[in-house]
A and B are shown apart, each in its own frame.
Chain A
Amino acid sequence: MARPTLALVGATVVTIAAVELLRRRTQAQGSARRFFAHPGGVWGLRVLMFFAVMAALAPLIAPYDPAAQPGIVTLQNAPPSWAHPLGTDAYSSDIWSRLIYGGRVSLGVALLATLVAMTVGVTIGAVAGYARGWIDAVLMRLVDIGLAVPRIFMLLLAVAYWNRIPLTLLVLLLGLTGWFTTSRLVRAEALSLRGRPFVDAARALGASPARVLIRHLLPAALAPIIVSAVLSVGNVMLLEAGLSFLGFGVQPPTPSWGTMVADGQAQLALAPWTSFFPGLTIAIVVMSWNAVGDALRDAFDPRPEHA
């Protein structure tokens, strides 16, 4: 018991120290200062950092093997205790340990899926906004179609093809259904930026379209891209949890927060903690992503009321 507890305390200290260090390091930059003036954003950052450290150091922090079923009869659905701080589930696995390992999957899937979505969305949006004309028209109609179909339907439709969907495929699917709004946003940025004199100046100096896009348009459009990425991570986490809850997402015994909620569903009256703690974690982490996203938005776009 001593080692995991020590590791947990260590993780908390590391989290707080890392956020503090980041604050000190970026003091000189206006946008970073505005971010750290945002209490919600700072708390969100701490929570996310905490879960990230936990996920990274899961084997050190988790007191038990998340898949171990030490006493399928004696320890089934045990309420929280000193030995099992968040109780055990129907298979007698330790919920706290599963929660820590589940963070790896839930956070990892959400981050990678967002990365996929951002890559596709930024590329398509930038190309459409810079090229204009028929390329723009075709790409944006594609986006319109993508936005007209509810994302969860698209996902369910795609996921239904597999009995047990591989994790990488789930990541790809979540990513490929999530780039539409991003590409619109980036297209709008590219359209407004391409009319700026520095873009003409770059072209006059012999920059190729690819160079103008990558060197001149994207960096200037970075702020809205980052905000939209951060906000979309929370969204993807919810989607993954929803899919996993329905049994279409992450497959047991791999723990993800969504599957954990689903696992507890059958004995909700008998052992509410089996669903409650993963559900609470999802809520807190998604709220943190949104808080960080909001704080970033305010930090990048200083309007008078925040000044």
Chain B
Amino acid sequence: MSETAATPPPVLSIRDLKTYFVTGAGTARAVDGVSLDLRPGETLGIVGESGSGKTVTSLSILRLIPEPPGHIMPGSLIEFEGRNLLTLSPAELRAVRGNQIAMVFQEPMSSLNPVFTVGDQIAEVARVHLGLSKPEAWIRAVDMLNQVGVPDADARAYEYPHQLSGGTCQRVMIAMALMCRPKILIADEPTTALDVTVQAQILELLEKTQADMGMAVMLITHDLGIVAGAADRVVVMYAGQVVETSATRDLFAAPLHPYTAGLLASVPRLESGRGVLKGIPGSVPPATDWPPGCRFHPRCPHAWDRCRTEEPPLLSGPRPGQSARCWLVQEPARRKPPAP
């Protein structure tokens, strides 16, 4: 929760992760040198547009990238409990998946197998990882359904995914993910497919279980509202790179990177009254062909010559734990005042 000086060692460290896809149109550098830390008990928001590489990053952690065409490049490191997940054998990796690191996906309805009851599917996790017998696993499954707030869990466990609402399906997915009390939960757009009211319930559930179990959550989303409400720290991704990292509070108060500022400006606010929302001009360039220099410069209102030729590293900002991949951190005088 706190970003004080004495930060505990991270539970998960990603260093220089590169996930490339070899396609007919060239090599897509979907994730290109991402480094980030996930600290115990925190919620880390990962924000970015479609195509920024946030989902590929999350899939790379558990090596769920389809290979081929995907390749995690040598030199990448994903360290969890002193081991590099990228060098584990398939069997070792399976012992981590769903057990110590669990995932919740975007589409709850299609992430459940349509031909089995939800109780059966939750129980399967307990049988795989905890080695429980069928009846024991079923009891655990019903118990988990209760914990994630599914009313009438005894009866619901016998139902099939198509008989349940999207919100309930997502609760089922969360029950499956939490079965083994994982140390890390990766939630990839967990509420995007749900109604707004249900979104809030699911986020509340995640927050509550996180507090109960003390796990770290990696929350991947394109919705800054969710980040503001749920995340302790934020990583902003653009064009396969981390462009800004900071505590949530600082990010909203004083974004360093023009891309972050652009994302914030494109969110409607009640207090600003009516008016035209400012989007970021252009769109994310194709991953096969990132622009030279700073990858954001073609869309950046502040860009000057240096941005077109020289790629900025992550530069530390004025506040603790804050950094951005932007030359403006070094040359703040060049920041143009916001357009009226």
Which residues from chain A sit less than 8 Å from chain B, CB to CB? Answer: 133, 196-198, 200-208, 211, 215-216, 219-220, 222
Contacts and interface: CB of A to CB of B under 8 A. Distances in A.
Nearest to A221: B115
A211 B94 CA distance: 12
Nearest to A133: B68
17 contacts: A196-B110, A197-B110, A197-B111, A198-B111, A198-B114, A200-B111, A201-B111, A201-B176, A202-B113, A204-B64, A204-B105, A206-B95, A206-B96, A206-B98, A206-B129, A216-B113, A220-B114
Contacts of B94: 206-208
B113 A220 contact: yes
Interface of B: 62, 64, 68, 90-91, 94-99, 102-103, 105-107, 110-116, 124-125, 128-129, 173, 176-177
Contact of A206 (B68, B99, B111): B99
B98 A205 contact: yes
Contacts of B90: 208
Contacts of B99: 206
A201 B173 contact: yes
The CB with the most chain B CB atoms within 10 A, among A197, A200, A201, A220, is that of: A201
Q: Enumerate the 5 nearest inter-chain pairs by beta-carbon distance, A residue then B residue, closest first.
A: A205-B98, A206-B98, A206-B97, A201-B111, A204-B103
A188 to B, nearest CB: 18
Contacts of B106: 197
A198 B113 contact: yes
Contacts, number: 68
Contacts of B128: 205-207, 211
B111 to A, nearest CB: 4
Nearest to A211: B128
Contacts of B115: 219-220, 222
A205 B102 contact: yes
A219 B68 CA distance: 26
Given A205-B125, A206-B99, 9 more contacts: A201-B105, A201-B112, A205-B103, A205-B124, A205-B128, A206-B98, A206-B128, A207-B98, A208-B90
A297 to B, nearest CB: 18
Contacts of B68: 133
A222 B115 CA distance: 10
B60 to A, nearest CB: 12
A133 B90 CA distance: 18
- Interface residues of A, dominant DSSP: helix
A300 to B, nearest CB: 12
B107 A204 contact: no
A211 B124 CA distance: 10
A201 B114 CA distance: 13
Nearest to B94: A206
Given A197-B110, A211-B128, A219-B115, A205 B177 contact: yes
A200 B103 CA distance: 10
A201 B102 CA distance: 10
Contacts of B91: 208
A74 B176 CA distance: 77
Nearest to B61: A204
B324 to A, nearest CB: 31
A198 B173 CA distance: 10
Contacts of A205: 97-98, 102-103, 124-125, 128, 176-177
Contacts of B110: 196-198
Nearest to A198: B113
Given A197-B105, A211-B128, A215-B124, A204 B114 contact: no
A12 B176 CA distance: 51
The CB with the most chain A CB atoms within 10 A, among B90, B96, B105, B106, is that of: B105
Contact of A197 (B97, B98, B107): B107
B97 A203 contact: yes
A216 B125 CA distance: 13
Contacts of B103: 201, 204-205
A219 B98 contact: no
A201 B112 CA distance: 8
A200 B105 contact: yes
Contacts of B125: 205-206
Given A197-B105, A211-B128, A203 B64 contact: yes
Nearest to A201: B111
Contacts of B107: 197
Contacts of A220: 113-115
Contacts of A219: 113, 115-116
Contact of B62 (A204, A208, A215): A204
Nearest to A194: B66
Contacts of A196: 110
A235 B96 CA distance: 48
A215 B127 CA distance: 13
Nearest to B112: A198
Contacts of B116: 215, 219
Contacts of A216: 113
